[in-house]
Chain A
């Protein structure tokens, strides 16, 4: 009787660390790369969605980010976590897309007003904390709604500072603008968010 040969099975990557998966993927292991995609796909998609506010665009850009990361994987030296590196890729793709879109559209007076601060400069200060005593889920819903009402420029700078925890200098480099512009945009974005969150509370 011949000995039974063990069946060749797909290696299980679920218990490997991101670092191990990256190393394996660098050597051409697509299974390892698939595991990385599975682990980080929601975060990457969420970042694309937070910047684009469009499901289809966010899907396309997050997919493009994964393809790009596969092509550039050998450049990843592990100075940051894999998730952070991936997030930077999708952020850059979103910014490219937003720049292309901006070039295509005609700048309206409203947009120019928004860029320079517009009415936010004269807005009264919101004295009460509008998010106090809100449940987390409810608060997230309100924040999502308010973010959707900001311009791309204001939303992007807010996302990069508050959620990606980037410093002014890093945001300026990523967005290709001056630190002064970053500070200005962030200020107006925060002021507008405060007003929007306050008005959402009033509406309820």
Chain B
């Protein structure tokens, strides 16, 4: 009976987790094996001792105090905004820091790259790929072959209002 699988089967028999056929097999086995019978008795005694005798304990705080903590937490979590709040005048500096500074940074990097390229290649300029350093920024590029001019529009992806049509939102870099 030392087989671990058999021991687990015995337990499953006690817990009513076996099929009718398997349960009949275990009954037959129990009738012949005193050791299995003793183990089953031990398992049954333990289960019987636990049933309905779960240790009792009470919440060590008063109803009012416990509720006040829950209520406060619900209010705190409920107060969190679902959408980004509109920009308030007081937080204009934060908005500028968040949106304008990356744009200025990207524009400066692009300008520097273009400037270096122009200086080193002269009029036969071929501008390669340029990577935007911020995920918040998007760009549109226009190349005028006749005038040998490339224009790069940078815009803020995170702003729903960022449309290329609005020229006031565009930082552009041109080269000739």
Contacts and interface: CB of A to CB of B under 8 A. Distances in A.
15 contacts: A30-B74, A41-B66, A46-B55, A66-B70, A121-B4, A125-B38, A125-B39, A127-B42, A140-B53, A144-B55, A158-B50, A162-B50, A163-B54, A183-B8, A187-B7
Interface stretch (A16-24, A55-63, A80-88, A93-101): A55-63
Nearest to B70: A66
Interface secondary structure of A, over-half rule? helix
Interface string B72-102: 0110010000000000000000000000000
A108 to B, nearest CB: 23
Contact of B46 (A63, A127, A194): A194
Interface of B: 4, 7-8, 11-12, 15, 17, 35, 38-39, 41-43, 45-51, 53-61, 63, 66-67, 69-71, 73-74, 77
Contacts of B38: 125, 127
A194 B58 CA distance: 26
Contacts of B15: 161, 168
Contacts of B12: 168, 183
A126 B48 CA distance: 14
Contacts of A158: 50
A65 to B, nearest CB: 10
Contact of B55 (A70, A121, A127, A143): A143
A74 interface: no
A201 to B, nearest CB: 11
Contacts of A49: 57
B45 A131 contact: yes
B4 A139 contact: no
A50 B49 contact: no
A194 B74 contact: no
Nearest to A62: B59
A89 interface: no
B70 A37 contact: yes
A67 B73 contact: yes
B61 A147 contact: no
Interface residues of A, number: 49
Contacts of A67: 70, 73-74, 77
Nearest to B40: A125
Contacts of B8: 180, 183-184, 187
Query: What 8 pairs across the A-B complex have the smallest Cβ distances?
Result: A144-B55, A131-B49, A45-B59, A162-B50, A129-B45, A125-B38, A194-B46, A183-B8
A162 B47 contact: yes
A63 to B, nearest CB: 6
Contacts of A42: 57-59
A190 B47 contact: yes
A136 B53 contact: yes
A32 interface: no
A119 interface: no
A139 B47 contact: no
Given A37-B66, A37-B67, A67-B77, A194 B11 contact: no
Contact of B17 (A30, A167, A194): A167
Given A41-B66, A63-B69, A190 B43 contact: yes
A34 interface: yes
A38 interface: yes
B46 A163 contact: no
